[in-house]
Structure 1
Amino acid sequence: MEKDCTNRSQMSKGIAAMPDRRSHRGADPRDASLFAPEAIPALREAVADLAWLFGRGYAEASSLKLVGDRHRLPDRSRKAVLRSACSDAQRADRLSRRLDLDAIAGRSLRIDGFNVLTTIEAALGGAPLLLGRDGSLRDLAGVHGTYRRVEETRPAIALIGEALADWRVGPSLWLLDRPVSNSGRLAAILREVASDRGWPWEVELPFNPDAELIAGPAEVVVASADSEVLDHCAQWFPMARLVVERAVPGAWVVDLSEPPRVGPGVAEEPSGQ
């Protein structure tokens, strides 16, 4: 989950937003068709196109509109493409600072709380997860100023804790966005679970967790899939992906990390260049 405050279509149309009463972090009713096997080639091509444009300095909004219009993608598919894409330079830079599992034993960890937790919740709830060009696993959830605890919340926390314990990770600091509604309640749950299980966790609620993840001590490992964080932190660890692969083997993973097998249109270098 990346911080997302852009989905305001209902309000812009004058339709009152309905309260979120969902009890699961599950799939959207449209996902079965949007991410069906036959839809994947076009999505991969769109990701490749967007990455090509990013690599040449084109602005995000105009690039996404160009790519989305070319492939006739609905808004949710465009969101998936955006979350999966990065330029070749970004991908190489991110991967150069990514730590493997065998490098984190005993290391202190800073966890991008909502980002990691909602991905595990989505995996347990049967929602689609996106494997992007940088190898990170992301969900399509958006925390629009409010976090709602769901049936998958405590199981997800348990899976994360058990994985960190088995991996012998050092002390972990969870960072939750203070402005997000119910962040204090989630912090209480995390502290309760850590106390019951004897896990070396602390929980803080800064106003801007991204800034602390980016500016943290160089020796501390960051657990996040947030693009801004990955572009600027000293070193990071794909915790959400590894927890899902370890504990939710049947998760719905939409692999958009590979380029399309057919020439990618605007992503293709002009001939003679």
Structure 2
Amino acid sequence: MNNRNRGKNTGDDVLFGSQKQLDKLKMGVQDMLYVLSRGYPEKASSELVGNRYKLKTRQIQALRGASASGQQIENRKLKQLEVSDLKGKILYLDGFNVLILMESLLSGAYVFKGADGCFRDLSGVHGTYKRVNQTQRAIELVASFFQKTEVQKLVWIFDKPVSNSGRIKEIVLDYAKENKLNWEAGLEYNPDKFLAENSEIAVSSDAWILDHCQKWFNLIAYLIKEEKLDVNLIKMA
């Protein structure tokens, strides 16, 4: 196992660890809701709000991840499934989205709960995926969910252009084979579009997917509650 994790960045405690910063971020999410609901574009809105509260780059990143318009929040909630809806169903899982978020969460990085009830982090793939100390545990937690909820099949979808996507796909499939899990895994050039168009139920916290898919399930929220995970949580809304 590689000796690395996805923990906090240097300086994150200064940006997210005090009540003063938290208050600014919460007010920022309220302002974002107001301007996004009136049709203003996300980038311009986050810059406007960021300037107002003198937010740093990573704070603006967290703000954007946690924010949505009133219409988006309502639309996402209408399409969200409960765990009781999943038995016997086929789920399509946004591989890097779920895996990296779980790795961050398990590493003690800050995780942000947004206006739509989804959890997001500040990590990214950046062209290459590197396995970390928490990767195995993240896969095990997904397996626990799969078995407890009696999902028929789970299909992991990874970004083909990302370096090492083929390797993590094989790790997931090997784990499924060893543990007799009905899992599949695929590589797609445009996984967001694929998940939105080809899955009846998507598992992701990616905003674009949530806005364009048929139905979705909030896996991270389920795992935090069900597995009683210790989370360095920032509630933004």
- The normalised TM-score by structure 1 is 0.83
Is the counterpart of residue 231 in structure 1 residue 211 in structure 2? Answer: yes
In 2, are the aligned partners of 1:111 and 1:175 still within 8 Å (CA)?
yes
Q: How far did residue 123 of structure 1 move? A: 1.1
The letter for the 1-side match of 2:92 is R
More helix per residue: 1 or 2?
2
- Partner Cα separation in structure 1 for residue 128 and residue 30 of structure 2: 33
Q: 187, 198, 206: which is aligned to 2:188?
A: 206
Runs of 4+ displaced beyond 4 Å: none
Q: How far did residue 248 of structure 1 move? A: 4.9
- The normalised TM-score by structure 2 is 0.96
Identity of aligned residues (%): 34
Q: 79, 84, 100: which is aligned to 2:61?
A: 79
Q: How far did residue 22 of structure 1 move? A: 7.1
Equivalent positions of 1:173-212 (< 5 A) are 173-212=155-194
Q: Deviations over 1:118-163 (max 9, x none)?
A: 1111111000111000001111111111111100001110111111
Provide the residue aligned with 2:83 in structure 1.
Answer: 101
The letter for the 1-side match of 2:5 is H
The letter for the 1-side match of 2:186 is E
In 2, are the aligned partners of 1:123 and 1:248 still within 8 Å (CA)?
no
Q: Which runs of 5+ in 2 are unaligned?
A: none
SS where residue 93 of structure 2 aligns?
A: strand
More strand per residue: 1 or 2?
2
Provide the residue aligned with 1:250 in structure 2.
Answer: 230
Q: 86, 102, 105: which is aligned to 1:120?
A: 102
- Partner Cα separation in structure 1 for residue 163 and residue 220 of structure 2: 23
Provide the residue aligned with 1:23 in structure 2.
Answer: 4
- Partner Cα separation in structure 2 for residue 255 and residue 193 of structure 1: 33
Q: Which has the larger radius of gyration?
A: 1
In 1, are the aligned partners of 2:100 and 2:124 still within 8 Å (CA)?
no
